[in-house]
Amino acid sequence: MVACDTVDAYYPLLADIYYPTIDQGAYGNVTKSWMLDKSVACNFAPAGAKAKKDVIPNTTVTIDSSLIGRTRTDLRFSSLDSKNAVTNIIITNIRDRFGNVVYMEASGPRAGQPTLFEIATNEPIVGPFGKVDYFKVVIRRSENQAVTV
């Protein structure tokens, strides 16, 4: 059963979180089978120039592939409380409160389907009273949009 958060003014979007089941073959080849675990309330927006790692000279058009946002819960823990590295998490199907997909692929193997994102950072933000208020999450569009989820 998939756990699902509720949206509100601070977290107006929902996103699906996938964790892998990892199998290793006899020759060391690793296969990941992605399983939908939960839908979390979140808020994401383009990261902007502040999140850029490199200055690229002579570039006239760039596409932001990073989003910055927040979630109520730590995404490294599944709904069954299993621990996962941020490299073993896929975020997709980011949608508004009416179910409209916000980030969708326009071409390629996932044309017309929600964009796949990987987590770049997941940091707890502690409020003035010593309690974690939310988790700051930076996600990056996955280079491999051909993954089956």
Q: pLDDT tens across 7-42, in order? A: 888 899 999 999 998 888 888 888 888 999 999 999
Tokens 């296969």 correspond to 31
Segment 97-120 shows an average pLDDT of 90
% of the chain with per-residue pLDDT over 70: 86
The two structure tokens encoding residue 49: 């120039």
Structure tokens given for 109: 């193997």
Burial 94-120 (b: 16+ CB within 10 A, else e): bbeeeeeeebebeeeebeeebbbbbbb
Can you read off the two tokens belonging to residue 124? 């707890």
Residue 1's pLDDT is 45
Closest CA to 89 of 101, 103, 105, 77: 77
Q: Which residues contact 34 (CB under 8 A, 6 or more apart)?
A: 18, 19, 20, 90, 147, 148, 149
The pTM score is 0.82
